[in-house]
Structure 1
C-alpha cells in the first residue's frame, strides 16, 4: 500500500494500480523526492522510467499499467489484454498485448509485453475510459483473433466474444471492413457470421455444414437443458425429434477433469432416455462420410418394440385318467 499523503498523487496512484511514469511523478514531486523514495525502497523500479509506489508484489492490474506506461504516450492495451479489463473469460495468458501507431517503435518493452504496430487506429476504436486505456471491444476481439497462435484459437476467441455478449456483429464487421489486410480476415468474418447465429466453435460450424451437405435435419446448437441435479448444461448439437445428442470433442477433452465432466453429463442424458453420439472435431472435417453414415443410422426411425412380458397361455382342466 502506498504511504503517500498528497491527494492528487494518491488519486493518480489509485487510478493506476499504484503505478506511475517518471514524468507523472515529477508533476507532483521533485526529482530529489523521487530518488529518495526509490533509495529508501518505499517505491520500486518496475521498468525504465516507470515506478510502483509500494514494495509489495506487483499484481496483474499493475502489470498492465506498467506495459502501457513503459512503451510511451498513446500506447493502448489491445487484444486479449484489453478484453480482460471488460470481463472476457477463458483465454487468460501471461503475455500482455499493447498497440501503438505505426510511426512509433518502442524499444525494450518489459518482459512478457508484446508490442503490435498499426496504421489503422481511428478514434472510434479507442476506449479512453479503460484502465489502462485500450481498444474498444470489437477492435480488441478482431486483434485478438489476428494475434492468436492458431486458426482454431482465433475462431474460439471470436465465438467467446459473442457467447459472453461483449460485442455486436455489426460492430465487429465495421472494424473488419476498414482492415482489408487483417490476418485471418476471411476466417474472422466467417466466425462472426456463425457465432452471431449461435455457433460457438469452428467444429460446430463444420458439423452444421456436414448436416446441410448430407441433407440431414438441422440440429439445435448449444441447446440448454438441466441435468439430473438441476444444473444447466448446453448440448453441442441436439436433434430434438429423435432425442439424439451429438457431442463434438475438441482438444480440451484430453484433460481428465473435462473428460469426466463430459462422461457424467453423457450418463445423465442416457439415463433420461436420450442417445448420445460423440465425434472428435478432426473427424468431422476429415472423415465426413463416416460421420454422415453414423448420423443417418442414428436418425433412422426406431421401430416400436413390444417389451412387455408374454401373456400366460390358458390351460384347460386336466382330465382324470380312469384307466
Structure 2
C-alpha cells in the first residue's frame, strides 16, 4: 500500500484540478464554505492567499485568480457575501439581463426579511425585503437574479430620485427587456410605498405608447400648461416604410419629435432628416426638441409648441 508521501503529489494534482474546475464555475469566485466542503483546508487557503495566488474578497468569498475582477466576478462576490438565498436585484439584475447605457454605483442584492447579512461592503447594497420570494428567481439566468419585471419595479422604488426611477423603467420598456403588461403585473405586489402612485402613473403612460423619458416630460408639461394632450407613437407611412412619430396633434397639423442622444449618431442623422422633411412636405409642422433643450430651456420650446398649435387652429380654454 503506497505511503502518504507517495500519495501527496497525486492529492495535490487532484486538488489543483478541483480548484481549476471551481474557478470556471463562477468567474473565479468561490465561497470559503465551498472550498472547505471540497476538501481544501484552511491552511491551504491561507497559504495560497499569502502566495498571492488567491485573494480574499470580503468575509466569505475567495477569488481563485489574480488581476482585476470582472463585472461578473464582482456580482458573485456580492451574492456570496449576501448568503445562500441572495439574488441580484434592481438595477444590478437589469444590467445582467441586458440593460444598456445605464450605470450603477452599487451592486444591489436582496435577501429575505430576517436573513443574516454576512457582510456589507462599500460597493454592495444587501437589502432585506419582505417582498422576497423564491419564485422571483429568473430560471434562465446563469447567475442568481430576480426576473426582469420584478427587478424593474424594485429599481424604480429604490432609485435616488423620482426622475431616475422614471428613467430606468422607461429604458426597460424602450429596450424591450420587459413589456408594460409584465411590469404592471409585478407592480400589483406593491401595497405600500411612497412611490406607489408614481409607479402606477408611469406604467399607465408607458402603456399609452410613450417610449422615452423625453416624451413623458413633454406630455406632463403639456398638461401643466393646459395644452391639449398629444397622441404618442402614432404610425405614418413614408416612402421608406412605416415611421413612428413621437408626439402628434393630428387635428392641428403639429408633430413634435423628441431627440435623445441616439439621434446624434451618424447612422441616424440622415434617415431622421429625410423623415422630418417628408412629413413637413405633407403640410404638417414638425418641431424637434433635443432632450438637452428640454432640460435647459423648457419654456422656450413650449412657447414654440403653443405657437404651432395656435397656427393649426387651437384656441386655449379660457376656463382652464
**What's the counterpart of residue 33 of structure 2?**
23
2:191 equivalent in structure 1: 180
Q: Which residue number corresponds to residue 153 of structure 1?
A: 164
Give the alignment partner of residue 59 of structure 1, picking from 61, 65, 70.
70
Task: Tell me the equivalent position of 2:312.
Answer: 299
Matched, 1:169 2:147: no
Q: Distance in 2 between matches of 1:264 and 1:243?
A: 24
Contact 1:223/1:238 (<8 A) preserved: no
Q: Secondary structure at the match of 2:185?
A: helix
SS of the aligned residue for 1:115 comes to strand
Q: 2:233 is matched with which residue: 221, 236, 252?
A: 221
Pick the structure with more helix per residue: 2
Trace 1:1-323 onto structure 2 (pairs within 5 A).
9-28=19-38, 29-104=40-115, 106=117, 108-127=119-138, 129-205=140-216, 207-208=218-219, 210=222, 214-215=227-228, 218-221=230-233, 235-238=245-248, 244-248=254-258, 258=264, 268=274, 271-272=277-278, 274=280, 275-279=285-289, 280-281=293-294, 290=303, 293-300=306-313
**Does the C-alpha gap of structure 1 residues 241 and 98 become closer, same or farther in structure 2, counting only changes over 3 Å?**
same
The answer for the alignment partner of 1:305 in structure 2 is: none
Preserved CA contact (<8 Å) 2:91 2:152: yes
Go from structure 1 to structure 2 and tell me whether the alpha carbon gap of 1:271 and 1:278 turns closer, same or farther (over 3 Å shift): closer
5+ residue gaps, structure 1, are 302-323
Matched pairs, number? 292
Q: Please tell me whether the aligned partners of residues 208 and 232 of structure 2 are also in contact (alpha carbons under 8 angstroms).
A: no
Determine the C-alpha separation between the residues in 1 that align with 2:180 and 2:168. Answer: 14
The 1:64/1:223 distance shift into structure 2, 3 A limit, reads farther
Kindly indicate whether the alpha-carbon contact (under 8 Å) linking 2:59 and 2:118 is maintained by their aligned counterparts in 1. Answer: no
Counterparts of 1:269 and 1:15, CA distance in 2: 49
Contact 1:85 1:131 in 2 (8 A): no
Q: Secondary structure at the match of 1:32?
A: helix
Aligned in 2, Cα 1:281/1:116: closer, same or farther, shift over 3 Å? farther
Q: Which runs of 5+ in 2 are unaligned?
A: 1-12, 315-320
Q: Conserved in 1, the CA contact under 8 Å of 2:138 and 2:146?
A: yes
* Larger Rg belongs to: 1
Cα separation, 2, equivalents of 1:226 and 1:245 = 15
Distance 1:44 1:287, change over 3 A: same
What's the CA shift string for 1:268-313, capped at 9, x where partnerless?
5555462432455469997998466323135359xxxxxxxxxxxx
Once residues 174 and 196 of structure 2 are traced to their aligned partners in structure 1, the CA distance between those partners, rounded to angstroms, is 20
Question: The residue matched to 2:57 in structure 1 has which SS?
Answer: strand
Is the contact between residue 29 and residue 64 of structure 2 (CA under 8 Å) also seen in structure 1?
A: yes
Cα distance, 1:196 vs structure 2: 3.1
- Does the Cα contact within 8 Å between 1:223 and 1:236 map onto a contact in 2? no
Q: Give the secondary structure class of the aligned counterpart of 2:255.
A: strand
| CA gap 1:202/1:88 in 2 versus in 1, 3 angstroms | closer
CA offsets 1:61-100 (integer angstroms, 9 cap, x no match) = 1111111112222111110101111111121223211112
Identify the range of structure 1 (263-272 vs 195-204) with the bigger mean alpha-carbon deviation: 263-272
Q: 1:185 to 1:4 in 2, by over 3 A?
A: farther
TM-score with structure 2 setting the length: 0.74
